[in-house]
Chains A and B, each alone.
Chain A
Amino acid sequence: QVQLQQWGAGLLKPSETLSLTCTVYGGSFSGYYWTWIRQPPGKGLEWIGEINHSGTTKYNPSLKSRVTISVDASKHQFSLRLSSVIAADTGFYFCARGRRRTPSNYGPFDIWGQGTMVTVSS
């Protein structure tokens, strides 16, 4: 049974860097892309970006200039850094299992972490 467990700082000041890490327990780490998704309070879901076990990344163009996703495949971990945060970056941040690396119609986001509430406030 695959589980994702995430952690990181929940309170930031404007201009600081958000940093979260997600550990994958069970299943294949190399067989999937691993993603970050966020949700402002009371609003919808926004895909931030993805990474695979070898470090290949894709980012949402809306956040690309501030986002870095990295991986430590030996620990089955991947991390999110979002620089220069502002109040609009406040919300829940989720890690999730993304699409399979081999072509498949199984689709992404079948397994999620528990979420981390991040608040940006001076």
Chain B
Amino acid sequence: DNQMTQSPSSLSASIGDRVTITCRASQGIRNDLGWFQQKPGKAPKRLIYAASSLQSGVPSRFSASGSGTEFTLTVSSLQPEDFATYYCLQYNTNPPTFGQGTEVEI
């Protein structure tokens, strides 16, 4: 399986902060990467697909970049509703695999 490693595993931030999460793939995945946000007891919500394409309806403070093995998700100005756990996903090879998650706390 293609292992996805996220860093950090958790972070503390304040409203208005700029936050960056990194995801590294053990094998190159071109740009076949998505980012998801999950709140407790809810299904994940896709924020980004194709490494940098913003899902329709997702605020523009979310952005992402990367290709190959190194990817980042950035929230330009953290809002109260952004406190959640974030996961990256590679869908280049089967089985699709998720990172272990990054919990963003106040």
- Residues of chain A touching chain B, judged by Cβ–Cβ distance below 8 Å, are 44-47, 58, 60-62, 94, 96, 99, 105-110, 112-115
Q: 8 Å CB contacts to A: which residues of B22-57?
A: 31-32, 34, 36, 42-46, 49-50, 53, 55
- Residues of chain B touching chain A, judged by Cβ–Cβ distance below 8 Å, are 31-32, 34, 36, 42-46, 49-50, 53, 55, 87, 89, 91, 94-101
Q: How far is the CA of A98 from the CA of B101 in the complex (A)?
A: 20
A-B contacts, CB under 8 A, total: 56
Q: SS class of chain B's interface: helix, strand, loop or mixed?
A: loop
The answer to whether A46 touches B98 (Cβ under 8 A) is yes
> With A109-B89, A110-B46, A112-B44 as given contacts, are A47 and B95 in contact (CB-CB < 8 Å)?
yes
Q: How far is the CA of A99 from the CA of B99 in the complex (A)?
A: 19
The answer to whether A115 touches B94 (Cβ under 8 A) is no
The answer to whether A45 touches B87 (Cβ under 8 A) is yes
